[in-house]
Every structure is written in C-alpha cells, then in structure tokens.
Amino acid sequence: MSATPISAHLSPLELFEQADFIVKSIIFILALASVVSWGVIVDKLLRFARLRRSAIAWNAALSGQRTLARLAQELKQHAQDPFARIYHAIAEEWQASHRQHLQADASGRDSLKERINRVGQIASNIEVEQLQKGLSVLATVGSVAPFVGLFGTVWGIMNAFQGIAASNNTSLAVVAPGIAEALFATALGLVAAIPAVVAYNRAAGDLNNYAGRLATLVGLVEVQLSRQLEAGDAQLDSADPAPTPIKAERAPHKIAPLAAQGA
C-alpha cells in the first residue's frame, strides 16, 4: 500500500467515520466541549477588557475633582456596568437613611457609614459572583477532557487488539486504524483541555484584578460620602451642569436595585 492511500485512510474524518459508537461519542463530546470553552474564552476576554477600561475611567473620575452628583449622572448612562449597580445600591441606602433622618446624631452617622460599607461589600460580592459564571465550564473542560480522551485511547487500543485477534495478523495495516483512533481521541482531549486551562488562569487573574478595582472604587465613594456626611450635605444625585462623559460600557436599561441583582 502506498503512502498516499494510508494518509487518506488515517485522516481525522476517515477515523471518525470508521470508529465505533463509543469512540464517535467521545470525539463528539470533546469537540462540543472545545467549542463551548472557546465561546466562554472569547466572552471573558472581551468582557474583562471592557470592564478594565471602564474601571480605570471611574477611578480617574473619583480620584479627580468630580463630584458624586456628576458621577451619578454619568453612571446612569452605563447602567450595565457593575460599578454603576454597586453605586446605585449605596445611593439607595444613603437616601433611605436620610429620608428617615437616621444620621441626625453622631451615633446615627457612624451607623450609616457602617451600613454603606456593608452594602458596598454585598453589592461587590454579587457582581463578582456574576462575573464568575462560565469559569466553571473552563475548569471542568480543563480537568475532565484529558481523561475523556484517555478513555477513548483505551477503547481504541482494545479495538486494535480485537482486530489482531480476529484476523490473526499483527501487521501494521491491521492495528493502525485502532491505534490511530486512540491517538486521535487523546489529541482531541488535549486540544480541548489546554486552551481551557490557560484561559481559566487568565480569566481568574483578570477577575481578581477587577475585584480589587471595584474595592478601590467603593472605598473612594465611601470616603466622599463620609466627607459629605460630616459636612451635613445630604445631596447625592443632583445634576451638575455640563457633565463630561466617560467612555465605559454602555447599556440602555436602568440600574436594577440590589435586591433584584441578588435574585
């Protein structure tokens, strides 16, 4: 047999077509896992890139001379940004406390500061938890795909031995298809697992960095609110003239309350 027919016979498509049901199922599962994991990878890369840019913009705004009133107006234009939802939760607690005059004395002001801090932490945890969705897919594919491919390897080698026993022939032409199926399943397992593991480590690092940025932003808001509280300024969301827009992730919807986010 010439080299060309053997190469065609051992092509991936031919290997899939001549494989039995078990090996075909394994190949299909691994291919599907690879497609799903790549979808998650692309989504996480794009999302964390946008969030990183918007977090830098919000940090620059809070670190400058921009008031919370102007910042609130700008955040309303980016309602789907996690920091916008966190700020909205903090603002609701601030306004509710002032409506009930809970900040009238020193003890009430201290309690308000503590509540604002807790609301910020809770809202931040909710946002980080939402951003974690999809990472479990990468972790599962990265840890399970090699073993699924290994199972296909074992099954393919078993088929090769069965071919030897049935034909009573140990030539390469007899054992090559089964061995090729086994190696093909192993290769697919690695193709699915390696990008998933690399992307999981990258996404986990990006998530930790963004969580740190959120904590910094919440801290800056708390500092300004504490300053306003001590100065007796209850205004928070009143509009300043001619706000300067910040480039960040835009969305047309209104900011959802904290209770709705946790649902």
Mean pLDDT, rounded, for 184-211: 92
Mean pLDDT is highest, among 53-62, 99-108, 109-118, 131-140, for 131-140
Q: Which of 144-153, 207-216, 252-261 has the lowest mean pLDDT?
A: 252-261
pLDDT digit string, tens, across residues 144-167: 999 998 888 888 788 777 767 776
Residue 263 predicted with pLDDT over 60: no
The average confidence (pLDDT) of the chain is 78
Q: Which of 23-32, 68-77, 193-202, 213-222 has the lowest mean pLDDT?
A: 68-77
Query: 210: pLDDT confidence band, cut at 50, 70 and 90?
Result: very high
DSSP bridge pairs for 229: none
pLDDT digit string, tens, across residues 68-111: 777 878 888 888 889 999 998 998 888 888 888 777 777 878 88
Dihedral sign for Cα atoms in the order 125, 126, 132, 137: positive
Question: Residue 11 carries which DSSP code?
Answer: S
Residue 200 predicted with pLDDT over 80: yes
Closest to 26 in 3D by CA, of 158, 136, 155 = 155
Confidence at residue 262, expressed as pLDDT on a 0 to 100 scale: 40
The CA angle 36-132-115, to the nearest 5 degrees, is 160
Tokens encoding 241: 């003239």
Confidence at residue 60, expressed as pLDDT on a 0 to 100 scale: 84
pLDDT digit string, tens, across residues 161-185: 776 777 666 666 666 666 777 788 8
Give the count of beta carbons closer than 10 Å to the beta carbon of residue 262. Answer: 14
Count helices and strands in the chain by DSSP H and E runs? 9, 0
Give helix 82-99 / helix 21-63 axis angle, nearest 10°: 50
Query: 199: pLDDT confidence band, cut at 50, 70 and 90?
Result: very high
pTM metric for this prediction: 0.74
Strands (E), the chain: none
Separation between Cα atoms, residue 193 and residue 34, nearest integer Å: 8
Separation between Cα atoms, residue 95 and residue 196, nearest integer Å: 45
Separation between Cα atoms, residue 112 and residue 90, nearest integer Å: 11
Tokens encoding 129: 């938890």
